[in-house]
Structures are given as structure tokens and as C-alpha cells.
Amino acid sequence: MSDLHAQVRACTLCAPYLPLEPRPIAQFSSTARILVIGQAPGRITHESGIPFDDKAGERLAGWLGIDAVTLHDPARVAIVSMGLCYPGKAKGGDKPPRPECAPLWHGRILPVLPADRLTVLVGTYAQAAYLPAMKGRPMAERVAGWRDLLPERIALPHPSWRSALFMREHDWFEQDLLPDLHAEVAARL
């Protein structure tokens, strides 16, 4: 496993397309029974080297019913996004993850995780890749299908500041989905 971690850290495949030096960021271990697949590291995460090391990470931890220490514990929670490096800024947010990244790394990293894990698909890019039958459907519809996806996986909006509007418009998210998600996460941990 340490070889795989070293290979990930040494990756420079997308260097010509990135605004900053490559800094692949992923946390995983053979014991992590929660897997979070997001979009790609943001600028703050790129600087710290810690996945979801920002306000979005605080919100994500709250949604999962865990604290930041648990979220950042690779023995318990794996975080392997669709892109492992910061893709740069675009109008209204960050650029999409590089398309080369997930095909290169997910097939090598995900098999080392426990088979009985809960996969948390955060945002459109992860959901398009891992819930192809729901591709093109609105975020609320993808997330509202949580009862059909649990106990193996769940779709969540990206936990950015914009998710406050999502939660205001869909009160079932906090009232119904989060208690079920907290129970699933607690059972895995």
C-alpha cells in the first residue's frame, strides 16, 4: 500500500494542464469503510495537502455525523476524488477535474478498500461517473434517491456554501436523509 501512496504522490500526468504544480491529494487505507469521492481538491486543499481541509470539509463532516479528526483519518475514511490535483479556477468555481485522473487512479486505489464500504458521491462529477443511470437528472432528484442507494452508496450535493440554498429548498435533506446517513456512517465506523 505504501508503494501505491508513493505512486499517487509522484504523479505528474496532468502537469501541462494545471495552473499550479501537481500535488495529488488522496487518503486511503485497507481499513477505510467510508469512501468519499468528490470533484477535485480546491485551492485551500492544494495548499494544505489535506483533503476537504476547508469550510466544505466542515460541512461534509457534519453531514456524515463525524468530526474533522475522523474525516481526515485515512484508516476510517478514504477520500479519492475524480481529480487528485487542483484543476484551477473557472467562472463561478473551480474547473472540472482532469479527465485523465479517475481512469488512472480509481481502478488502482478502490480495490484496496474494504468491499463492504459506504461510497459517498459528492457532486455532479462523481455522480456522473458512478451513477450513470442518473446522469442528466437534477441534483435534487439524484440525492432524493438515497433510500434506493443505501447501504452501499449515497449521492450528496457538493458541501460548498451553495449547498445552503439546496438545504433550504429541500427540507427532507436534513430531516430525513441526514439521520439515515449518520446511522450508516456510524455502523461502518
94-123, pLDDT tens digit by residue?
A: 999 999 999 999 999 999 999 999 999 999
Cell of 112: 484496496
Instruction: Provide the domain count of the chain.
Output: 1
Q: How far apart are CA 124 and CA 5, in angstroms?
A: 26
pLDDT at 162: 83
Q: HSE on the CB side for 24, CA within 13 Å? A: 25
- Burial of 126-145, coded b for 16+ CB within 10 Å and e otherwise, reads bbebbbeebeeeebeebbbb
Q: List the domain range (segments joined by +) for residue 123.
A: 2-188
- The pLDDT tens digits for 119-167 are 999 999 999 999 999 989 999 999 999 999 999 999 999 998 888 899 9
| Average pLDDT of the residues in 48-69 | 96
pLDDT at 163: 87
pLDDT at 2: 87
pLDDT at 5: 96
pLDDT higher than 80, residue 1? no
pLDDT at 93: 85
pLDDT at 159: 95
pLDDT higher than 90, residue 82? yes
pLDDT at 51: 96
Do 184 and 116 form a contact (C-beta atoms < 8 A)?
no
Do 164 and 62 form a contact (C-beta atoms < 8 A)?
no
Q: Where residue 169 falls among pLDDT bands split at 50, 70, 90?
A: very high
Percent of the chain topping pLDDT 90: 93
pLDDT at 24: 98
Indicate which CATH number applies to the domain containing 75.
Answer: 3.40.470.10
Does pTM surpass 0.85? yes
- The pLDDT tens digits for 2-48 are 899 999 999 999 999 999 999 999 999 999 999 999 999 999 999 99
